[in-house]
């Protein structure tokens, strides 16, 4: 059945009473850094008892998505098939260029949106509001941001006759087109016994029947059903933060939204000319009130808010906490919430065949900062964690300049160096000193860190005997523990080299679906409001002045491909990637084709030029292949030349 207003109000009342009494699961222990500042241990895990409590509390407020939307039990296969055909039918627009799928894309990996701030109609006029996802829409209390349509069937009829959207002048002309296109028998099968099956109302009913099939399934459903291992420890932390912060006051129920109308700007005003539900009800209390958006698939449905003005999910969460709750989120809280939200993505859309990589050779169990005891050694480890987590805040301040951009070491080294195939630091202290071909000599771990300070962070080297360098190495040493050197997860993910050159244009298309909801359409990343312009970005910029320079390892196409395929978008794992190797290859090409800072002195890298990586984006090269092939491939001929000329 559909959710009634009475049920929603009652549920909201119960939720308010529950939240008023609930202080959340026991907080993860805070630690005191060597700098004397309180720090939340972002990699800490909840104790088993606390995990069970968190699960019970989440199940009281949230619930798995049902297998079917209300009304689906009455939909015949013929009705659904007709609705699907109509959903993709361009004859429903005035110039035959646009279908429902143009704005609410469900093809491929798309999550029911077009990933545009506002959508262009058939005549290229832009609407005033962001196109909401059609996935799971039948679970919502009403349709459209202002709730003006009570159900899917009524909503489906609106855009076709809207002059800004599909632009058809009247319903009769729509049905005349469909009759001329041979739809009559299909309507007759879908509506047996109807005196006039080919009607505009039946068109709406058919499209609604198809849309009721668009139910998604994700890891959070499995978690709510009792599989506590379906979420990672960081995602569980994010769920805890999500609940404690108060987000569940509005984002509740199986869809985590869509069941209430709420004013945007409860605590702090939001600059909007759109008066929302007031345009429907004309009631003063409904001014600037909108339907609360669902959070299912939220990592794939940007840009955000009713006007599409918020480009990234990090900014959407950060600003909503401020607008609605008056809360400023620090990097750790924001990051953990974002990680939780990755578990809300439909597994059928956010998945790809895994690369041919072995799982970690040994159990992958990073230690937790909460387990560190007192003492100077522990304080040094904690300080190292701070430096690596918020590098710009601590090392990029005016007068220091060791960190030259807004990135942090954890921007590349996922989960502060603890994630398998995520450029982990576990075991790294046992691998140095070692010979490095880029320098042509043996290098220490401190020198390796300084290479990143100068290249990935576009800064300058730290003194090897500085407290900061000692702290970073202490943290990495603590992580390393007894981690075996041969553990597969310490290395990059292996993949079969594509035989073709990478295609930045295709990469841009994949970037729009999988990457720009976090990093932004212009690769700008996001810095939390709480940073006030001084801290590291919670989501790193991928190009432009604040990004890694051309001398960084991530500027190499094959290195970036392996990293993206195993780790991106946020929440992806090497065994359950969101992008195929081919897609990651093209995304890496698109990102690394954008402008980024340069670096002097790169010509001295790899004294033995034959050993220079074939995907180095800068010369000089020992082979006779063109620079463009080193940047984009194909790399097979380059690797063959290198193998033939490398010293034995």
Q: For residues 315 and 517, what is the distance between their CA atoms, to the nearest angstrom?
A: 10
Q: For residues 262 and 282, what is the distance between their CA atoms, to the nearest angstrom?
A: 15
Q: For residues 460 and 476, what is the distance between their CA atoms, to the nearest angstrom?
A: 20
Segment 110-133, tens digit of pLDDT:
999 999 999 999 999 999 999 999
**Within this chain, do residues 134 and 241 fall inside the same structural domain, yes or no?**
no
Mean pLDDT over 182-204 rounds to 97
Distances in Å between the alpha carbon of 578 and those of 8, 77, 583, 588, 591? Answer: 35, 31, 9, 14, 17
Mean pLDDT over 186-206 rounds to 97
For Cα atoms 580, 586, 590, give the angle at the middle one, nearest 5 degrees: 140
pLDDT over 70 for what percent of the chain?
A: 89
DSSP letters spanning 214-263: -----HHHHHHTT-GGGS-HHHHHHHHHHHHHTGGGTS-TTTTSSS-EEE
Catalytic option among 51, 89, 165, 211 = 165
Q: Residue 45: what pLDDT? A: 53
**Within this chain, do residues 514 and 638 fall inside the same structural domain, yes or no?**
yes
What is the DSSP code (8-state) at residue 488?
Answer: G
pLDDT over 90 for what percent of the chain?
A: 75
Q: For residues 403 and 473, what is the distance between their CA atoms, to the nearest angstrom?
A: 17
**Within this chain, do residues 157 and 245 fall inside the same structural domain, yes or no?**
no
**Within this chain, do residues 335 and 373 fall inside the same structural domain, yes or no?**
no
Q: Is the Cβ–Cβ distance between 183 and 92 less than 8 Å?
A: no
Mean pLDDT over 424-440 rounds to 93
**Within this chain, do residues 572 and 439 fall inside the same structural domain, yes or no?**
no
Give a yes or no: residue 496 inside a domain: no
Give a yes or no: residue 463 inside a domain: yes
Give a yes or no: residue 450 inside a domain: yes
**In 10 A of CB 12, how many CB atoms?**
16
What pLDDT band is residue 465 in, cutting at 50, 70 and 90? very high
Q: Residue 341: what pLDDT? A: 96
Residue 337: enclosing H or E segment and its boundaries? helix 331-342
Take residue 35 and report the two structure tokens written for it: 């700098």
Q: For residues 128 and 164, what is the distance between their CA atoms, to the nearest angstrom?
A: 10
Q: Residue 391: what pLDDT? A: 92
Q: Residue 18: what pLDDT? A: 46
Range 66-81 burial, b when 16+ CB lie within 10 A, else e: eeebebbeebeebbbb
Q: Is the Cβ–Cβ distance between 337 and 343 less than 8 Å?
A: no
Segment 509-556, tens digit of pLDDT:
999 989 999 999 999 999 999 887 777 788 999 999 999 999 999 999
Q: Residue 372: what pLDDT? A: 87
**Within this chain, do residues 223 and 333 fall inside the same structural domain, yes or no?**
yes
Q: Residue 17: what pLDDT? A: 44
Last residue of a domain, one of 309, 343, 377: 343
| Cβ burial, residue 225 (10 Å; 0-12/13-18/19+) | exposed
Q: Is the Cβ–Cβ distance between 8 and 302 less than 8 Å?
A: no
Mean pLDDT over 619-643 rounds to 96
CA-CA-CA-CA dihedral for 382, 385, 390, 394, to nearest 10: 50
Mean pLDDT over 261-280 rounds to 96
Mean pLDDT over 289-311 rounds to 96
Q: Is the Cβ–Cβ distance between 234 and 339 less than 8 Å?
A: yes
Q: Residue 352: what pLDDT? A: 59
Q: For residues 384 and 568, what is the distance between their CA atoms, to the nearest angstrom?
A: 25
Segment 332-367, tens digit of pLDDT:
899 999 999 999 999 888 765 554 545 554 556 778
What pLDDT band is residue 491 in, cutting at 50, 70 and 90? confident
**Within this chain, do residues 524 and 640 fall inside the same structural domain, yes or no?**
yes
Residue 215 has pLDDT above 90, yes or no: yes
**Within this chain, do residues 198 and 78 fall inside the same structural domain, yes or no?**
yes
Give a yes or no: residue 226 inside a domain: yes
Please name the residues in contact with 286: beta carbons below 8 A apart, sequence gap of 6 or more: 261, 276, 277, 278, 280
Q: Residue 648: what pLDDT? A: 59
Q: What is the mean pLDDT of the chain?
A: 89
Last residue of a domain, one of 155, 182, 213: 213
| Single pTM value for the model | 0.86
Q: Which domain holds residue 337?
A: 217-343
**Within this chain, do residues 529 and 465 fall inside the same structural domain, yes or no?**
no
Q: Residue 63: what pLDDT? A: 93
Any catalytic annotation for residue 262?
A: no
Give a yes or no: residue 64 inside a domain: no
Rg (CA), the chain: 27
Give a yes or no: residue 494 inside a domain: no
**Within this chain, do residues 186 and 256 fall inside the same structural domain, yes or no?**
no
Residue 327 has pLDDT above 80, yes or no: yes
- The residue with tokens 């196109």 is 131
Distances in Å between the alpha carbon of 567 and those of 147, 243, 520, 570? Answer: 38, 26, 18, 6
Mean pLDDT over 131-141 rounds to 98
Picking from 7-16, 267-276, 323-332, 388-397, which range would have the lowest pLDDT averaged per residue? 7-16
Give a yes or no: residue 152 inside a domain: yes
**In 10 A of CB 88, how many CB atoms?**
14
Q: For residues 563 and 281, what is the distance between their CA atoms, to the nearest angstrom?
A: 50
Please name the residues in contact with 40: beta carbons below 8 A apart, sequence gap of 6 or more: 28, 30, 330, 332, 333
Distances in Å between the alpha carbon of 273 and those of 152, 159, 200? Answer: 27, 22, 33
The CATH number of the domain holding residue 321 is 1.10.760.10
CA atoms within 13 A on the CB side of 128: 10
Q: For residues 1 and 410, what is the distance between their CA atoms, to the nearest angstrom?
A: 46
Picking from 19-33, 358-372, 570-584, which range would have the lowest pLDDT averaged per residue? 19-33
Q: For residues 448 and 1, what is the distance between their CA atoms, to the nearest angstrom?
A: 61
**Within this chain, do residues 186 and 237 fall inside the same structural domain, yes or no?**
no
Domains in the chain, number? 4
What pLDDT band is residue 38 in, cutting at 50, 70 and 90? very low
Picking from 24-38, 47-61, 65-79, 260-274, which range would have the lowest pLDDT averaged per residue? 24-38
Last residue of a domain, one of 213, 247, 270: 213
Q: For residues 46 and 52, what is the distance between their CA atoms, to the nearest angstrom?
A: 9
**Within this chain, do residues 264 and 198 fall inside the same structural domain, yes or no?**
no
Q: Which residue has the higher pLDDT, 68 or 404?
A: 68
Segment 43-81, tens digit of pLDDT:
445 666 688 999 999 999 999 999 999 999 999 999 999
**In 10 A of CB 348, how many CB atoms?**
10
DSSP letters spanning 123-138: TS-B-SS-----TTGG
Mean pLDDT over 101-105 rounds to 97
Q: Residue 560: what pLDDT? A: 97
Give a yes or no: residue 348 inside a domain: no
């Amino acid at each position: 059945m559909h959710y009634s207003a009475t049920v929603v109000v009652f549920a909201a009342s119960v939720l308010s009473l529950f939240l008023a009494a609930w202080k959340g699961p026991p907080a993860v222990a805070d630690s005191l850094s060597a700098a004397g500042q309180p720090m939340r241990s972002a990699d800490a895990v909840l104790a088993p008892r606390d995990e069970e409590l968190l699960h019970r509390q989440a199940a009281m407020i949230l619930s798995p998505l049902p297998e079917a939307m209300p009304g689906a039990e009455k939909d015949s296969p013929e009705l659904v098939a007709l609705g699907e055909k109509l959903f993709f039918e361009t004859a429903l627009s005035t110039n035959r260029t646009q279908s429902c799928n143009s704005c609410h894309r469900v093809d491929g990996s798309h999550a029911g949106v077009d990933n545009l701030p506002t959508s262009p109609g058939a005549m290229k006029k832009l609407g005033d509001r962001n196109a909401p996802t059609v996935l799971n829409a039948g679970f919502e209390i009403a349709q459209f941001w202002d709730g003006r349509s009570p159900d899917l069937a009524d909503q489906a009829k609106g855009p076709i006759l809207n002059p800004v959207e599909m632009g058809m002048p009247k319903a009769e002309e729509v049905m005349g087109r469909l009759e001329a296109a041979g739809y009559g028998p299909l309507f007759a099968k879908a509506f047996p016994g109807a005196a006039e099956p080919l009607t505009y109302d039946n068109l709406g009913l058919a499209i609604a029947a198809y849309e009721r099939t668009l139910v998604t399934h994700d890891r959070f459903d499995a978690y709510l059903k009792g599989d506590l291992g379906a979420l990672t420890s960081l995602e569980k932390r994010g769920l805890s933060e999500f609940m404690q912060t108060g987000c569940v006051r509005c984002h509740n129920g199986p869809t985590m939204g869509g069941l209430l109308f709420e004013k945007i700007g409860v605590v702090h005003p939001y600059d909007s000319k759109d008066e929302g539900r007031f345009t429907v009800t004309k009631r003063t209390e409904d001014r600037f009130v909108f339907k609360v958006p669902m959070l299912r698939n939220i990592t794939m449905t940007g840009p955000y808010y009713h006007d599409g003005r918020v480009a990234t999910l990090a900014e959407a969460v950060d600003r909503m906490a401020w607008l609605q709750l008056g809360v400023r989120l620090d990097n750790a809280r924001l990051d953990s919430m974002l990680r939780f939200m990755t578990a809300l993505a439909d597994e059928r859309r956010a998945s790809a065949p895994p690369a041919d990589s072995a799982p970690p050779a040994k159990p992958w169990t990073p230690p937790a900062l909460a387990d560190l005891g007192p003492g100077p050694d522990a304080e040094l480890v904690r300080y190292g964690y701070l430096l690596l987590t918020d590098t710009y805040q601590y090392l990029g301040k005016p007068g220091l300049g060791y960190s030259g951009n807004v990135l942090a070491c954890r921007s590349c080294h996922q989960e502060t160096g603890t994630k398998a195939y995520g450029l982990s630091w576990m075991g790294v202290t046992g691998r140095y000193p070692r010979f490095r071909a880029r320098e042509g000599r043996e290098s220490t771990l401190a020198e390796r860190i300084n290479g990143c300070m100068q290249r990935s962070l576009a800064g300058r080297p730290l003194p090897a005997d500085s407290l900061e360098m000692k702290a970073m190495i202490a943290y990495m040493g603590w992580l390393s523990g007894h981690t075996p050197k041969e553990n597969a997860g310490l290395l990059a993910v292996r993949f079969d080299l594509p035989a073709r050159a990478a295609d930045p244009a295709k990469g841009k298309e994949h970037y729009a679906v999988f990457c720009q909801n976090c990093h932004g359409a212009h690769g700008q990343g996001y810095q939390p409001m709480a940073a006030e312009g001084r801290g590291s970005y919670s989501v790193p910029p991928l190009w432009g002045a604040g990004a890694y320079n051309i001398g960084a390892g991530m500027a190499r196409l094959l290195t970036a491909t392996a990293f993206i395929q195993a780790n991106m978008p946020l929440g992806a794992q090497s065994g359950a990637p969101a992008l195929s190797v081919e897609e990651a290859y093209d995304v890496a090409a698109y990102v690394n084709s954008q402008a980024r800072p340069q670096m002097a002195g790169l010509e001295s890298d790899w004294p033995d030029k034959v050993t220079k990586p074939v995907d180095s984006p800068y010369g000089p090269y020992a082979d006779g292949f063109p620079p463009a092939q080193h940047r984009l491939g194909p790399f097979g001929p380059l690797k063959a030349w290198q193998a033939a000329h490398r010293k034995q």
